[in-house]
Amino acid sequence: MKILILGAGAIGGYLGSRLVEAGADVNFLVREARRAQLDREGLRLRSVFGDVDCKVVTVSAGELKPDNDLAIVTCKAYDLDSAIEAIGPGLSQNGLVLPILNGLGHIATLNAAFGQDRVLGGTIKLSASRLADGTIKHMNDWHWLRFGEQAGGLSDRVLAVQAAFDGCVGLEAVPQENIMQEMWEKFVHLTTAAAMTCLMRANSGQILATDEGASLFQQMLETSANIARASGYPPSDEFMETYRTLFADRDGTYATSMLRDIEAGNRTEGEQIVGLMLQRAREFDIDSPLLTAAYAHLKAYEVRQANGGKI
């Protein structure tokens, strides 16, 4: 299986380096500056599961050939349109797209572009960042990837994707019979964490150090879970227990990438995560004042940034 990875940032770089380490046929579609760096220095990963320093195959948009069996897309949700334009020429006639994006809205967009039969569902639990020198830094011990057919079941092609990940160190890649359920649970988790940490401008432990923090965290989790239930994807009891515990850990230091984007003055995925969950709440007439406040906070941040960051 020939694999095209769009970009070599935090998640794409992690997955790509693990695949290359395992001997997979991988090429990276990257911009010229990143390509020059990778061609010169290789791809570097620093992880608790073992470091990787490897030479990689890079390609520019103009050099793409329609011979890739799988394209892995890990861009920000707001860059999806340009990602679709970029990978299209590199896919074979029956090539598959495996998106690892936040939220759920990207699935419909990719289905419209490539057809539902060529788009897998996918979700990842892995925290990584790309350092200034291009090194990929694994931030903790989370290291699992889940993927599968949107319609459910384990198809031969999903098992072929699994085979491509066989032998990868530091990556638990497992096909799922109901990937959309997995994606909805991730959506509940991420919405809760992003909405709370951005609204409070603090990590989980700092929020929980306040008198009101614990009850507000649980309120946000229950609201998001109720929206998932109304949408036909009720979170499992195990999931709810896990995240009730996580969002009650006063020693926790969980900070979302969306909060880090705000702190850095960068664009966020607020619309694609918090905004989409709020849209679903309104469709089902679910009262969600805390989610509404978090969304308003993110939109106000966007307005302020558009005005040069001034009050």
Report which of 179, 169, 163 is spatially closest to residue 100, judged by C-alpha positions. Answer: 179
Cα atoms in the 13 Å half-sphere on the side-chain side of 191: 36
Which positions are catalytic? 186
Contact by Cβ (8 Å): 158, 174: no
Amino acid at 57: V
Alpha helices in the chain (DSSP H): 10-21, 32-41, 80-87, 105-114, 156-165, 179-200, 204-208, 213-230, 237-246, 257-263, 276-283, 289-306
DSSP conformational letter for 119: B
- Using a 10 angstrom Cβ sphere, with 0-12 exposed, 13-18 middle and 19 or more buried, the burial of residue 96 is buried
Distances (CA, A) of 90 to 66, 127, 162, 258, 277: 4, 28, 21, 30, 33
C-alpha closest to that of 136 among 268, 11, 293: 11
160 vs 3, 115, 157, 181, CA distance in Å? 12, 20, 5, 21
Per-residue tokens: 59: 């390609």
3-class secondary-structure state, position 123: strand
CA 268, CA 270: separation in Å to the nearest integer?
A: 5
